[in-house]
């Protein structure tokens, strides 16, 4: 197995074995998956007993989930990136709801200025939304919020930044991420900051709940499905929140929530699983990504599976194949400006390549035919390809040209084959690693016992006594 991302001794008769080495590095067999899931489960339980671990297992103080019978009109405010969203949600009590929402852009000056200015902007956005809703829907309960004598409208805040939550409506901001650095906010209660802004604006709105986006995914799915035990984010980043027995969250100590018992949603922060890289299947291509990232040695699991990083892992492999010596393996040794650019390969390209390969033209090539397509010991003759295979490879050629800036004629059918193979390696590994997180929750909640060949279903309700349903957000 190569010890660096450089590929040496790339002669026509050795290229196949070099590609086999890369294939082996990205392949996870059952033993590897069992080992990863077992370590995942151990770190779950460590985080439930002690504070201060990377996989933080944060108590959320959300002690139940909807069942679809709830009714009412509520406001939601979602802050976590370039845009914020203000939503009016009307729950009809039959697992259905009506949603009205508006996006508001968060400028760079707001992200980096004073916290009071940022939170005043949040309040102004809610005010603008309330006003437009009242004008367009005069019979809406939300319109009453503008009346001076009306009761405060309840609002839930989805705040996708690291917070140490001490109650359902209290949470101390630990640090900003995602390009935010607003001053005088860290170490302060974000609910209080928002409520103070509402009060300054004389808005009859009360922030009654602070939730992470994973908790939001679980709660929204619970309403439409009649219950949910896990909310998971598999998008730009990754995280999960699940329903845990309060008795298992021993680090709560003397907190009143511990005495109350029952269940509570736990925000795992599983993107930081195995930062020490004890079991994660690190390759030289992963090490390069981590070394060049803005947070080396942190968020290790996230860097293996999330949309922000899969394109960059793929780019690292492709560049190694371009730079192979003495004979380039890919693109005749030519790299475009886009391929040379850090994060120049967007994860979207992987999806497009896979879609082109599976396509609508019948079943894709089997493993034997795929291996033959990558066999550098024999020429890849167009006339020997099945028509559907040729069609798929020509589509992939066009995708590579468009997304990586190659000119027509600079991407051969063999190049298209290799690009598709690399994309599949990276994505397949990510999918299997993602499954380890979900499997860990299933084991922790008692839905499954054992691992690998010893795994057994333990019933449809597990230790929680609740049906197994999960909510996944892939944005």
3-state secondary structure of 428: helix
Beta bridge pairs of residue 209:
156
Picking from 397, 429, 395, 390, the residue whose alpha carbon sits closest to that of residue 412 is: 397
What are all long-range contacts of 95-103, with beta carbons under 8 Å and residues at least 24 apart? 95/68, 95/223, 95/224, 95/225, 95/226, 96/224, 97/223, 97/224, 100/133, 100/137, 102/128, 102/129, 102/132
d(CA 234, CA 239): 7
The helix (run of H) or strand (run of E) holding residue 371 is helix 367-373
Active-site residue, selected from the candidate residues 127, 189, 213, 346: 213
Instruction: For 275, list phi and psi in degrees, rounded to 5.
Output: -55, -25
Active-site residue, selected from the candidate residues 143, 160, 220, 434: 160
DSSP string, 201-269: TT--EEEEEEE-HHHHHHHHHHHHHT--SEEEEESSSEEEEEEEEGGG-GGGTT-HHHHH-SEEEEE--
The helix (run of H) or strand (run of E) holding residue 194 is helix 190-200
Whose structure tokens read 């008795």? 247
Picking from 151, 157, 173, 141, the residue whose alpha carbon sits closest to that of residue 213 is: 157
Active-site residue, selected from the candidate residues 5, 85, 140, 473: 85
The helix (run of H) or strand (run of E) holding residue 171 is strand 170-173
d(CA 275, CA 414): 37
Whose structure tokens read 């598999």? 234
Q: Cis peptide before 258, with omega less than 30 degrees from 0? A: no
Beta bridge pairs of residue 135:
none
d(CA 465, CA 363): 42
453 is catalytic: no
Contact 382, 412 (CB under 8 A): no
Whose structure tokens read 């005010």? 127
Picking from 158, 52, 46, 160, the residue whose alpha carbon sits closest to that of residue 440 is: 46
160 is catalytic: yes
Contacts of 402 (CB under 8 A, 6+ apart): none
Contact 271, 257 (CB under 8 A): no
Residue positions annotated with a catalytic role: 85, 160, 213
């Amino acid at each position: 197995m190569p010890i660096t991302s450089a590929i040496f001794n790339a002669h026509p008769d050795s290229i196949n074995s070099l590609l086999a080495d890369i294939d082996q590095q990205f392949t996870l067999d059952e033993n590897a998956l069992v080992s990863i899931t077992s370590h995942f489960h151990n770190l779950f339980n460590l985080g439930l007993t002690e504070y201060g671990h990377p996989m933080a297992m944060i108590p959320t103080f959300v002690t139940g989930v909807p069942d679809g019978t709830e009714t009412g009109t509520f406001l939601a405010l979602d802050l976590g990136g370039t845009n914020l969203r203000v939503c009016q949600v009307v729950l009809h009590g039959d697992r259905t709801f009506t949603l009205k929402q508006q996006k508001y852009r968060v400028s760079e000056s707001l992200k980096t200025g004073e916290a009071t200015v940022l939170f005043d902007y949040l309040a102004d956005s809610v005010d603008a939304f309330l006003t437009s809703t009242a004008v367009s829907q005069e019979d809406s309960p939300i319109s009453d919020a503008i009346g001076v004598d009306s009761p405060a409208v309840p609002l839930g805040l989805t705040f996708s930044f690291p917070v140490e939550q001490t109650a359902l409506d209290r949470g101390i901001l630990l640090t900003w991420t995602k390009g935010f650095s607003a001053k005088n906010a860290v170490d302060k209660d974000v609910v209080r900051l928002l409520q103070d802004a509402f009060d300054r604006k004389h808005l009859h709105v009360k922030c009654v709940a602070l939730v992470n986006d994973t908790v939001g995914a679980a709660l929204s799915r619970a309403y439409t499905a009649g219950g949910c035990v896990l909310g998971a984010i598999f998008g730009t980043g990754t995280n999960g929140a699940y329903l845990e027995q309060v008795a298992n969250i021993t680090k709560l100590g003397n907190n009143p929530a511990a005495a109350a018992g029952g269940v509570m949603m736990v925000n795992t922060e599983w993107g930081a699983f195995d930062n020490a890289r004890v079991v994660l299947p690190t390759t030289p291509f992963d090490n390069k990504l981590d070394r060049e990232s803005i947070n080396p040695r942190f968020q290790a699991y996230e860097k293996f599976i999330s949309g922000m990083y899969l394109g960059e892992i793929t780019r690292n492999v492709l560049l190694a194949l371009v730079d192979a010596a003495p004979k380039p393996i890919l693109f005749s040794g030519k790299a475009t400006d886009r391929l040379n650019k850090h994060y120049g390969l967007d994860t979207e390209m992987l999806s497009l390549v896979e879609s082109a390969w599976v396509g609508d033209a019948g079943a894709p090539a089997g493993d034997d035919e795929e291996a033959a397509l990558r066999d550098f010991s024999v020429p890849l003759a167009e006339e020997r390809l099945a028509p559907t295979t040729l069609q798929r490879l020509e589509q992939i050629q066009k995708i590579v040209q468009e997304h990586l800036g190659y000119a027509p004629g600079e991407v051969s059918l063999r190049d298209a084959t290799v690009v598709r193979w690399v994309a599949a390696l990276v994505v397949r590994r990510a999918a299997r690693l993602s499954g380890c997180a979900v499997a860990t929750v299933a084991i922790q909640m008692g839905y499954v016992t054992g691992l690998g060949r010893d795994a057994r279903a333990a019933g449809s309700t597990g230790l929680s006594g609740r049906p197994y349903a999960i909510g996944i957000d892939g944005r």
